[in-house]
Amino acid sequence: MRAIVYIRYGPPDVLELREIEKPTPKDDEVLVRVRAASVNPLDWHYMRGAPYIMRLGTGLRKPQNTRLGVDLSGIVEAIGRNATQFQPGDEVFGGRTGAFAEYVCAREKTLAPKPTTLTFEQAAAVPIAGLTALQGLRDQGRIQSGQKVLINGAAGGVGTFAVQIAKAFSTHVTAVCSTRNVEIVRSLGADKVMDYTQENFTQSEQRYDLILDNIGNHSLSACRRVLISKGTFVVVGGPKGNWVGPLGFFLKALLLSRFVSQTLVGFLASINKEDLMAMKELIEAGKVTPVIDRCYTLSEVPEAIRYVEEGHARGKVVITL
């Protein structure tokens, strides 16, 4: 089968499309013929081995796992002997490392039936970004109906899901994005859209119950100023950096949270069947629709990752097979 492989850290040029052996599912796995995958910032972090601190887990001098991609949608082709939740022919979506390939083996607990209203390309856009938005708002932010919620970085992969999910919880949503993205973010249901080139949300007189920050382009003190005294600030993304990158912003938030009345928290999403099913329900109810910026082929994964790394993608970038 064809798959994207890399054996050293570096820019997108280190990625190669190779013929490798088709995998065989373990007892608790299913073999999925991948129909679509999608690109996340996680992919270029792994590709570059940056920030450097992550190499403690991924390999100091070269990657221990030579495959990239997590988000996927496709068709179950074979099942392990202990797999009971899916059958060959089932359409699924979810996550598994190595998704930039024609086939991948995934554990049943990281897959769910594909939403019936979505194409394979749309379904592949959901897992990491959709679950980050859902878990950030629901679990970390403890979002409640009637709250005032601000989404910083509302036009990206996580942001476009977060705006829609926050509205599904019946909140008042303020979305922050660039000039060129104002209309698309407004179309997602945001009650107010702030163009950050014209307006700084941290200098607003409005106070928010919950802020989901996908960018980390303002100091914690500036963001806290527009939070209510018992408000919650959820860090999803942070500034780039070669050594600790966004992790530094996460750690500052966690440390400061111990000394203030507000809750400041950083987290990484986990892919699990229960939350994939929750997203499936929101999607099939018409409350959430994935936003896709561009589609690339498997051989164009380097170009797709390069585009996402530039930081200007609207919604998700999808790989079609």
Q: What is the CATH number of the domain that holds 140?
A: 3.40.50.720
Q: What pLDDT is recorded for position 256? A: 64
Do residue 262 and residue 135 come from a single domain?
Answer: yes
Do residue 164 and residue 214 come from a single domain?
Answer: yes
Q: What pLDDT is recorded for position 217? A: 87
Check whether the bond before 51 is cis (ω within 30° of 0): yes
Predicted TM-score of the model (pTM): 0.94
Q: What pLDDT is recorded for position 58? A: 79
Q: What pLDDT is recorded for position 239? A: 61
Do residue 115 and residue 62 come from a single domain?
Answer: yes
Q: What pLDDT is recorded for position 29? A: 96
Helix (H), strand (E), coil (C) string for 16-68:
EEEECCCCCCCCCEEEEEEEEEEECHHHHHHHHCCCHHHHHHHCCCCCCCCEC
Cα angle 225, 158, 191 (rounded to 5 degrees) comes to 60
Between the alpha carbon of residue 196 and those of residues 21, 154, 155, 176, 210, the distances in Å are 48, 11, 12, 6, 18
Do residue 21 and residue 112 come from a single domain?
Answer: yes
Q: What pLDDT is recorded for position 311? A: 87
Q: Is residue 67 domain-resident?
A: yes
User: Which residues form the domain of 259?
Assistant: 129-266
Do residue 294 and residue 308 come from a single domain?
Answer: yes
Do residue 9 and residue 108 come from a single domain?
Answer: yes
**Taking the chain (321 residues) in consecutive chunks of 10 residues, what is each chunk's mean pLDDT?**
96 97 96 98 89 78 92 98 96 97 97 98 98 98 98 97 98 97 97 96 96 91 94 83 58 68 87 98 98 98 96 95 94
